Amino acid sequence: MTRPTARARTTLPPVRYRIITASLLTVAALYFLVPVYWLVVSTTKNSAELFGTFGFWFAGHPDPLGHLADVLTYDHGIYARWFANSLLYAGIGAVCATLLSAAAGYALAKFPFPGREAVFNLVLAGVLIPGTALALPLYFLFSAMGLADTYWAVLIPSVVSPFGVYLCRIYAAAAVPDSLLEAARIDGAGEARIFAGLGLRLMTPALVTVFLFQFVHIWNNYFLPLVMLSDSDLYPIQLGLTSWTGYADRQPVLYQYTVGGAFLSVVPLMVLMTVLQRYWRAGLTEGSVKA
């Protein structure tokens, strides 16, 4: 009788491996989906039912549309303004950050120049610095420029993404062939046209990743608007919901509005993830064909 080799002894049977993998993925899915389920259930309740009924089941007479309508109409529709502010900050900030990251990453990957690695190392250092450490210096800078408590105080810092530059540099080096760029130059195309016509197309999966990461980061950003803004009309959703929570002890109905507003705030992220995931699939498929 032959003894199993060391490799055979350490390899799990296929069925057992699939069961363990499925179990771990199920636990991870529950970990992320249970809070979403609680949020959906809580949206159907009023303030009294939030604390007087079982948290993971619906109220006796759920009215989610009515409760969400109350959120949108409270205080002359201030939540709708916060929602629009968040779309403005996250949308413009993510688009500009993606384009700047693409240009910087492409340049660092495809154009050799003195000090290129030093510049890239500075970008890596920017990835390691937390945003909260820069909030106060940015506030002093924007205050001196007269831009504090304006849309620009949140928009301008949002267009900078060191992680986006890093990712675009790595992806451009791997996905944009030098031979293709040389062929375009021989045909008489300028560098701007090559970047817009070839570079951006080949870097699409990386650009989608940068855009989504930056959009989610800006959408969920709390500390920078807290430092920069004092006018409630300029608040994004996260800061506005926090202000409601601060008054909820005196106005209990704000607990209900905060839960409803939190539910509405995650809808754009879910839609964005659903719409953009096909670009990731296309990028993965393209990479497998090239390999």
Q: Could you state, in order of their start, the residue ranges of all structural domains in the chain?
A: 67-290
63 or 123, greater pLDDT: 123
7-16, 114-123, 167-176, 241-250: least confident range = 7-16
Residue type, 216: V
Compute CA 19 distance to the chain's CA centroid, rounded to the nearest angstrom: 32
- What is the predicted pLDDT for the residue at 287? 43
pLDDT, averaged across the chain: 86
58 or 178, greater pLDDT: 178
Query: Where do the H-state alpha helices sit in the chain?
Result: 6-10, 14-43, 47-52, 64-73, 78-110, 116-128, 131-144, 152-158, 162-175, 178-186, 191-194, 200-202, 204-220, 223-228, 237-247, 253-290
Torsion angle defined by CA atoms of residues 240, 244, 247 and 249, in that order, rounded to the nearest 10 degrees: -150
For 224, residues 6+ apart whose C-beta sits below 8 A from its C-beta are 131, 135, 138, 154, 157
Whether pLDDT at 280 is above 70: no
For 105, residues 6+ apart whose C-beta sits below 8 A from its C-beta are 164, 165, 166, 167, 168, 169, 170, 171, 172, 203, 206
Whether pLDDT at 1 is above 70: no
Compute CA 84 distance to the chain's CA centroid, rounded to the nearest angstrom: 17
1 or 275, greater pLDDT: 275
Q: How far is residue 229 from each of residues 136, 155, 159, measured CA to CA in Å? A: 12, 12, 18
Question: Are the C-beta atoms of residues 198 and 275 closer than 8 Å to each other?
Answer: no
In CATH terms, the fold of domain 67-290 is MetI-like fold (1.10.3720)
- What is the predicted pLDDT for the residue at 289? 39
For 252, residues 6+ apart whose C-beta sits below 8 A from its C-beta are 47
- What is the predicted pLDDT for the residue at 42? 86
- What is the predicted pLDDT for the residue at 45? 84
The string of DSSP letters for 55-84 reads TTS--SS--HHHHHHHHHHTTTTHHHHHHH
Return the SS3 of 176.
Answer: coil
